[in-house]
Amino acid sequence: MTLAYHRTGRARRNVVALALVWAGLLGMVLLFGAAAWIVLFLWLFSLPLAWEVWRNPESRLTLDSDTLAWHGMMGRDAVPLSLIDKVRFDRRLDLSMRVTLVLEDGRKIRLPHDVLPPPERLEAAFQAHRIATERNPFSLLG
């Protein structure tokens, strides 16, 4: 089973979210007469998403019969499947998933968040390649 995942910053979800937030802020000013400093403060929180939509970074993850490779905003790397002992899926308190590769020699490699497909698909792909997976419902450390 081969898994190929591709994501761009200018995804429809990001553009719609940004448009809704900015429309909401404009509505606060026009309909409710919100103070400009409050709207400006709230607008600042949308700037990281606006930057991602503007830059349109690409992220890729490929899992084939012998290699796990990824390319994202933080760089690129590849690991032969023969070196992976197990894969840990840790649910964080913000409900995001952290995926860590535990290698045969004990080293740990954390996959960047921007390259991760839905956790269910990734876990199924690892299991199809006979790589042990471990799920931790909520993890504060690690």
Residue 137: per-residue pLDDT = 83
List the CATH number of the domain containing 119. Answer: 2.30.29.30
Residue 95: partners with Cβ closer than 8 Å, 6 or more residues away: none
Q: How many domains does the chain have?
A: 2
Outline where the chain has alpha helix (H): 12-32, 36-44, 47-55, 119-128
142 touches 100 (CB < 8 A): yes
Pair (45, 67) in one structural domain: no
Q: Which residue, chain included where needed, has tokens 């006979």?
A: 130
In a domain, 3, yes or no: no
Pair (125, 72) in one structural domain: yes
Pair (67, 51) in one structural domain: no
Pair (127, 88) in one structural domain: yes
72 touches 80 (CB < 8 A): no
Residue 140: per-residue pLDDT = 64
In a domain, 1, yes or no: no
User: The domain containing residue 22 runs over which residues?
Assistant: 8-55
- Tell me the average pLDDT across 107-128: 94
Pair (72, 50) in one structural domain: no
Residue 79: per-residue pLDDT = 96
- Tell me the average pLDDT across 28-39: 95
Mean pLDDT of all residues in the chain? 93
Per-residue pLDDT reduced to its tens digit, 57-82? 999 999 999 999 999 988 999 999 99
Q: Which residue, chain included where needed, has tokens 């792909």?
A: 125
The SS3 of residue 90 is: strand
Query: How would residue 141 be classed by pLDDT, with cut points 50, 70 and 90?
Result: low
Pair (121, 96) in one structural domain: yes
In a domain, 17, yes or no: yes
